[in-house]
Amino acid sequence: MASIRVVHYLNQFFGQIGGEEKADITPFSKEGPVGPGTALENALGNDMSIIGTVICGDTYFNENIDTATEEIVKLIASFKPNLLIAGPAFNAGRYGMACGAVCTAVQERLNIPVLTGMYEENPGADMYKKSIYIVKTGNSAAQMRTAIPAMGRLAIRLAKGEVIGSPAEEGYLARGIRKNVFHAQRGSARAVEILLKKIKGEPFATEYPMPVFDRVTPRPAIKNLSQAKIALVTSGGIVPKGNPDRIESSSASKFGRYDISGINNLTAETFETAHGGYDPVYANQDADRVLPVDVMRKLEQEGIIGQLHNIYYATVGNGTSVANAKKYAHAIGEELKQAQVDGIILTST
């Protein structure tokens, strides 16, 4: 009989409820493992069993972070677990936010070890890696086979209260915690060794990585809105009906530029979304719900803004790598600089 009680948190997709059309379901629980929970339970060995699974829709969670967390912690607590495992969420942003928030809340309030798994670019990773153990995974569910054993290994060690090694040894994302250790070689010798490697152009690992502050200076405000040219950009995938550039529904390989001269309103007949990461029903009915062309035209007519830039730019922000998002934004930015716009509204779903 397994003695360590584990609860598993999943989203609607991995919880086998449905896709984006079910992403607004409220939290509920089931006895035993569900979906990837079966493989996870096998990876946990004989002493541990998944006694329950808590499932919540990603959209519901992210639109109601506080109440959803509250409800989920209650459901998890009712199983009286010794350990919580969430995900893995791979590069799914909303799911990663949910896994991180749920783990952090459970760790604080139920005082039990917690663990999740994510791709390092998941926004949930940046947000929660300092508070909890996040096992580093690949960027898509195709890597489930390697993620599960890695999470299982760390989960066993956490549940048994073992001393957890460094991020590199254990495969989790660095939490920024420094520990004193005895090293066979003294510091000066190690420093010279690293320096020599660096001079020779060989790979070396620093013992003290510098934090990366990836921030931009806020640009000064627009002084006179009634003279300003404003551009619209979206990561919500709004494209002319038929998606002429065939922007992919996830991991988009490109962005599109679309002329909206003379267009005062986006309609179901003329525009749609190419985005595969949210329920497309509402944007397909009226794309102004994501890209507010109708309101911008009205404000232009009323003279509140000088003009709406007649080209808008769109890509699909769904599993998009940070490097690609930056690349597309750079190219879009070059064009908008040429067009001498005074301000940009970027909408995201």
We find the least distance from the C-beta atom of residue 343 to other proteins, in angstroms, to be 4
Residues 6+ apart with CB under 8 A from 186: none
Q: Which is nearer to other proteins, 166 or 227 (CB)?
A: 227
We find the least distance from the C-beta atom of residue 26 to other proteins, in angstroms, to be 15
* DSSP class of 68: H
Q: Which is nearer to other proteins, 142 or 346 (CB)?
A: 346
268 binds other proteins (CB under 8 A): no
Alpha carbon separation from 203 to 176, 187, 210, 211 (Å, rounded): 22, 19, 17, 20
Instruction: Judge whether 140 and 90 are in contact, CB under 8 Å.
Output: yes
3-state secondary structure 199-246: HHCCCCCCCCCCCCCCCCCCCCCCCCHHHCEEEEEECECEEECCCCCC
Which residue type is seen at 72? I
Q: Of residues 54-73, which lie at the interface with other proteins (CB under 8 A)? A: 59, 62-63, 65
336 binds other proteins (CB under 8 A): yes
Alpha carbon separation from 130 to 3, 21, 239, 261, 308 (Å, rounded): 29, 33, 38, 48, 42
Number of residues forming the site for other proteins (CB under 8 A): 68
We find the least distance from the C-beta atom of residue 335 to other proteins, in angstroms, to be 9
Give me the residue label for tokens 């002319």. Answer: 240
Q: Of residues 233-252, which lie at the interface with other proteins (CB under 8 A)? A: 233, 235-236
d(CA 203, CA 189): 17
Q: Each residue of 16-29: b (16+ CB within 10 Å) or e? A: ebeebebbbbebeb
Give me the residue label for tokens 């829709």. Answer: 57
Q: Going residue by residue from 197 to 216, which x/- string records binding to other proteins, judged by CB under 8 A?
A: -----------------xxx
Q: Going residue by residue from 122 to 151, which x/- string records binding to other proteins, judged by CB under 8 A?
A: -x--xx------------------------
Q: Which is nearer to other proteins, 64 or 140 (CB)?
A: 64
Q: Of residues 280-299, which lie at the interface with other proteins (CB under 8 A)? A: 280-283, 285-286, 288-292, 294-296, 298-299
For other proteins, the binding residues (CB under 8 A) are 20, 23, 59, 62-63, 65, 93-94, 97, 123, 126-127, 214-216, 218-223, 225, 228, 230, 233, 235-236, 278-283, 285-286, 288-292, 294-296, 298-299, 304-305, 315, 317, 325-326, 328-330, 332-334, 336-337, 341-349
